[in-house]
Amino acid sequence: MNFRRFKNILWKELLDLIRDRRTVLATIIMPIVFYPALGGLIGYVFRAQPVYIAYIDQDDSQYSKKLLDILKKNASNTGNYYVFSNYTHPVEALTNPNIDIVIIIPKGFGNNISSSLEGVSTVILKFNVASTKSGEALNFVSSALHALSTLIVKERVRRLAPNIDIKSFLNPIESKLELVGPGGRKARPEERFLYLTLMILVLGLYFSMHPAISFVADSITGEKERRTLEALLVTP
């Protein structure tokens, strides 16, 4: 194709693009504004939704109080979780549609833990399946229960063997992470994020191609309507 004719066709298409405000809006301005706004909106919605947890203590022991302290401390550090300990009956908490999960500490909870080195207690969790935030609430509560269990195990180890190193006793195996690449070569830390970088590159390529694809499709449609498509295709 002659370069001068190609330049004329390109200039003509650019003029058509500038004149057609709807095409400019749909192919350039809308993606620039819409995609970042959509990502920000999704992130805000997930962050803005608070998680409500009801805590019912029927035992009133040091361990049930310790669990409540852990929950409230973690909630204050996170900033999006709220623990309510003013409920006295499960039905009262379950009638509140905003409550995502109810924690019930049954009577004898603390006594079962402290009675022997093998004592096991049960915590009842009432999970609201209708809530979209129940999964987050369950993970939050499970983390607090794990923290309390770790404290109880440490207390039992101190009672059984006061002079033992608790950290080594509870963690007899340590893992050492080595980053390697294909063939076993030593890899750099930034190579861990290579896959994520490629995904971002693919998304960026899609967003950059989207306006061009829309413009080409609109241009071909316009050439068909003006019955000049055949002449354009056979231009040497």
Task: Report residue 85 as tokens.
Answer: 């300990």
Give the strand pairing for 51-57 and 124-127: unpaired
What are the residue boundaries of the structural domains of the chain, listed by start?
A: 3-45+183-233, 50-170
Q: Which pLDDT does position 221 carry in this prediction? A: 61
What is the C-alpha separation between 32 and 27, in angstroms, rounded?
A: 9
Question: What number of other Cβ atoms are within 10 A of residue 28's Cβ?
Answer: 15
Q: Is the alpha carbon torsion for 72, 77, 81, 82 positive or negative?
A: positive
Q: Which pLDDT does position 235 carry in this prediction? A: 47
CATH label, 50-170, candidates 3.40.50, 1.10.10, 3.40.190, 3.90.1070: 3.40.190
Per-residue pLDDT in tens (0 to 9) along the chain, 236 residues: 566 766 776 677 667 666 666 666 666 666 677 777 777 777 776 666 889 999 999 999 999 999 999 999 999 998 889 999 999 888 899 889 889 999 999 999 999 998 888 889 999 999 888 887 888 899 999 999 999 999 999 999 888 888 888 888 888 888 887 778 777 778 777 666 676 677 777 766 666 666 666 666 666 665 555 555 444 444 44
Cβ distance 218 to 19 under 8 Å? no
Cβ distance 214 to 26 under 8 Å? yes
Cβ distance 214 to 25 under 8 Å? no
What is the C-alpha separation between 53 and 137, in angstroms, rounded?
A: 7
Give the strand pairing for 101-105 and 124-127: antiparallel
Q: Which pLDDT does position 234 carry in this prediction? A: 44
Cβ distance 104 to 67 under 8 Å? no
Task: Report residue 181 as tokens.
Answer: 């690449």
Q: Smallest Cα–Cα separation from 45: which of 33, 37, 53, 56?
A: 37
